[in-house]
RNA sequence: GGCCAGUUGGUGAAGUGGCUUAACACACUGCCCUUUCACGGCAGCAUUCACGAGUUCGAAUCUCGUACUGGUCACCA
């Protein structure tokens, strides 16, 4: 066995024990959680990554633990230029930062590195070599075709699929023959020689899914690929053992490999970490069935999608927490001013089946979030958004900074603030009429019932009496006067009792002015809008509206 | 096909044998408040927890079976 091990890994002279000494257990209080986020460096962060990294960070943080970033680049094909930098940048945007691990394409912090798997080759090989020496691993010379053929045979026989038992061609292959093949440069992989018994059961307690029962693993899985790098299963064991990860938080597509992972830990006499498997976010697809959000088909799976819509990062995180922990929403409702750091995350409150991604709910959370910001904060948010996506608006916001903040302050900073902005991306459409530069090519939504002579009368009498210094009550009683003089009821209740006695009500008067100024019958507080516009601009708006009516 | 898991209104869910005539939130509908809209308030929206059988005085909650949905069965992670 030693001869074979030395032939396969001639340059490995350290032992597992050496590495165990190099990476001693962390000196942490009992119950402290060490977690990690371990993506492939594809540079693409999707909502699922955000979800699992957030949860991992949160549970570590709740115990003053460690959260580190490990890069899983054992599949060279998937590696993308600047992938690591992009991942770090995107996560940082969402306030997801690390205590340890990679901090750029090449640099890292922490004592348990390297934190990038391609630099850990010797470590994996050391563990594999030890297995080889003990007869718990062996080289397998099967070609891809051979493996496929076996699968076909198994399908035909309705046998369980996989490399195990009598289908494991090289499991009991003669050592000298193997040595000959290797010396002959035949390609091979290293497989784990499983001692598991498929008829026995193992029980695993998942922090989220609860008690899980599986048959023992008896698959002789590949641990070292022909390029010398480990497979996920093997790297997971080696890394999380040596880095002393206490909790593996990952997506639940890994559940079915759990027996393999547990077996690997047991083989080295190591206590496995705790596992917490997260269900993926789902959506209803074209055919009406539920499926995982896919980064190919679903634009909303990309984190950049929310960025482009101008949904505040904080709102996205709030949504994620809402989905992740079912009691969060109620907690947040009663602790509106608390930081989400004060919320204690609970694995038991994580749904064990996949949730549908609910965009309406996200928007609602976003809307509530924005409603609680100060006008200045809204301004900063829109400004940052516009800088990237709407230069025209950006320039206006910069030019009219104080004025813009006043606009955003209409019916804000009060007990029950307005809630009409659901994202930074939809603000411009709602306030465009406050900017003369945006007020061209407009169409007015005057009430059809009121003819243009009436409209003119109202506007004319209004401009005569308008005084910018009036307070709201004075202003409104003047409005009522105009109405009374023209035959519109100034009291809405009276009007409703006898609508036939009047041409209309004060609501019609308001709306004529509102439409003339904003083009729309829906707007925030009219008094505030008029005040911000000022008398001269109001006059201009009136003229413009009248002109448009004439030309009709 | 094997293995594993899940299934409570349009959506996310609460719920662990009686306090459930099934919370709460989103969406939707109606009413109220109101100079418009938004906000806010009130009401409506699952006679029933995929289906069937069983255990029990009693089941959304326990057991079994069926159906459906999802995951997995790579030298990808």
Q: Give the bridge partners for A251, in sequence order.
A: A278
pLDDT at A260 (0 to 100): 97
* Nucleotide closest to A224 measured between CA and C1': B75
pLDDT averaged over chain A? Answer: 90
- Of A residues 23-82, those with CB within 7 angstroms of nucleic strand B are 38-40, 72, 74-75, 78
Q: Is the CB of A252 under 7 A from strand B?
A: yes
Strand A488-489, strand A290-292: pairing: unpaired
Residue A441: enclosing H or E segment and its boundaries?
A: none
pLDDT at A16 (0 to 100): 95
- Of A residues 408-467, those with CB within 7 angstroms of nucleic strand B are 411, 416-420
* Nucleotide closest to A235 measured between CA and C1': B77
pLDDT at A285 (0 to 100): 66
Residue nearest to nucleotide B37 (CA to C1'): A522
Q: Give the bridge partners for A70, in sequence order.
A: none
The torsion angles phi and psi of A235, rounded to 5 degrees, stand at: -65, -40
Q: Is the CB of A254 under 7 A from strand B?
A: yes
Nearest Cα neighbor of A190 from A176, A174, A170 is A170
Neighbouring CB atoms inside 10 A of A74's CB total: 23
pLDDT at A415 (0 to 100): 79
Q: Which nucleotides of B are covered by protein (CB under 7 A)?
A: 1-8, 10-16, 23-27, 34-40, 69-77
Please give the Cα distance from A300 to A296 (Å, whole number).
10
Spell out the alpha helix ranges (H) of A466-534.
472-486, 492-497, 506-518, 526-533
pLDDT at A120 (0 to 100): 96
**CA neighbours closer than 13 Å in the CB half-sphere of residue A126:** 16
ipTM reported for the complex, 2 dp: 0.91
- Of A residues 151-210, those with CB within 7 angstroms of nucleic strand B are 151, 158, 160-163, 187-189, 209-210
Please give the Cα distance from A292 to A48 (Å, whole number).
10
The torsion angles phi and psi of A302, rounded to 5 degrees, stand at: -85, 135
Please give the Cα distance from A156 to A150 (Å, whole number).
10
* Nucleotide closest to A187 measured between CA and C1': B75
Each residue's pLDDT tens digit, A71-91: 999 988 888 888 999 999 999
Q: Is the CB of A351 under 7 A from strand B?
A: yes
pLDDT at A413 (0 to 100): 81
Q: Give the bridge partners for A190, in sequence order.
A: A139, A224
pLDDT at A112 (0 to 100): 96
Neighbouring CB atoms inside 10 A of A250's CB total: 20
Q: Is the CB of A253 under 7 A from strand B?
A: yes
CA of A362 vs C1' of B20, distance in Å? 30
Residue A309: enclosing H or E segment and its boundaries?
A: helix A303-309
Q: Please report the DSSP string for A214-267 in residue order.
A: EEPP-B--EEE-TTSPBPHHHHHHHHHHHTT-SEEEEEGGGGGGHHHHHHHHHH
Q: Is the CB of A521 under 7 A from strand B?
A: yes
- Of A residues 456-475, those with CB within 7 angstroms of nucleic strand B are 472
CA of A356 vs C1' of B11, distance in Å? 8
Q: Spell out, as residue ranges, where chain A has pLDDT lower than 70.
A: 284-289, 552
pLDDT at A306 (0 to 100): 92
pLDDT at A280 (0 to 100): 83
């Amino acid at each position: 066995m030693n001869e074979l091990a030395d032939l396969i890994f001639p340059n490995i002279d350290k032992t597992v024990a050496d590495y165990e000494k190099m990476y001693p257990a962390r000196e942490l209080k009992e119950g402290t959680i060490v977690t990690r986020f371990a993506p492939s460096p594809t540079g693409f962060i999707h909502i699922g990554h955000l979800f699992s990294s957030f949860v991992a960070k949160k549970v570590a943080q709740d115990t003053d633990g460690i959260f580190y970033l490990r890069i899983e680049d054992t599949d060279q094909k998937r590696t993308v230029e600047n992938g690591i930098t992009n991942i770090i940048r995107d996560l940082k945007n969402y306030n997801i930062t690390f205590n340890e691990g990679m901090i750029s394409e090449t640099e890292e912090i922490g004592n348990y590195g390297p934190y990038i798997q391609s630099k850990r080759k010797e470590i994996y090989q050391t563990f594999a070599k030890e297995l080889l020496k003990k007869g718990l691993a062996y080289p397998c010379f099967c070609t891809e075709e051979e493996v496929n053929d076996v699968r076909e045979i198994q399908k035909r026989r309705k046998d369980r699929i996989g490399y195990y038992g009598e289908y494991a061609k090289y499991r009991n292959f003669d050592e000298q023959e193997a040595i000959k093949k290797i010396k002959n440069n035949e390609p091979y992989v290293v497989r784990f020689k499983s001692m598991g018994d498929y008829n026995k059961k193992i029980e695993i307690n998942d922090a989220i899914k609860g008690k899980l029962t599986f048959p023992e693993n008896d698959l002789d899985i590949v641990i070292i690929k022909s390029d010398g790098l480990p497979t996920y299963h093997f790297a997971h064991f080696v890394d999380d053992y040596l880095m002393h990860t206490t909790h593996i938080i990952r997506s639940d597509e890994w559940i079915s490999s759990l027996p393999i992972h547990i077996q690997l830990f047991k083989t080295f006499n190591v206590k496995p970490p705790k596992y917490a498997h997260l269900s993926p976010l789902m959506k209803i697809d074209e055919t009406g069935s539920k499926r995982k959000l896919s980064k190919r088909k679903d634009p909303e799976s990309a984190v950049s999608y929310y960025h482009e819509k101008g949904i505040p990062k904080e709102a996205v995180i709030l949504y994620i927490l809402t989905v992740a922990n079912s009691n969060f929403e109620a907690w947040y409702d009663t602790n509106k001013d608390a930081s989400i750091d004060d919320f204690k995350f609970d694995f038991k409150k994580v749904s064990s089946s996949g949730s549908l991604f609910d965009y309406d709910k996200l928007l609602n959370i976003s809307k509530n979030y924005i409603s609680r910001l100060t006008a200045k904060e809204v301004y900063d948010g829109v400004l940052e958004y516009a800088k990237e996506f709407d230069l025209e608006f950006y320039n206006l916001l910069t030019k009219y900074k104080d004025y813009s903040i006043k606009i955003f302050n209409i019916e804000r900073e009060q007990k029950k603030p307005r809630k009409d902005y659901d994202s930074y991306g939809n603000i411009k459409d709602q306030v465009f009429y406050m900017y003369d530069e945006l007020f061209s090519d407009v169409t007015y939504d005057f009430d059809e019932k009121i003819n243009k002579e009436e409209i003119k009368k109202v506007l004319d009498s209004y401009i005569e009496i308008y005084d910018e210094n009036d307070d709201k009550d004075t202003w409104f009683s003047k409005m009522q006067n105009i109405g009374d003089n023209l035959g519109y009821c100034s009291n809405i209740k009276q009007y409703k009792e006898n609508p036939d006695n009047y041409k209309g009500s004060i609501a019609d008067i308001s709306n004529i002015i509102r439409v003339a100024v904003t083009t729309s019958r829906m707007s925030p507080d009219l008094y505030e809008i008029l005040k911000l516009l000022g008398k001269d601009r109001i006059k201009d708006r009136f003229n413009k509206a009248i002109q448009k009516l004439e030309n009709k």
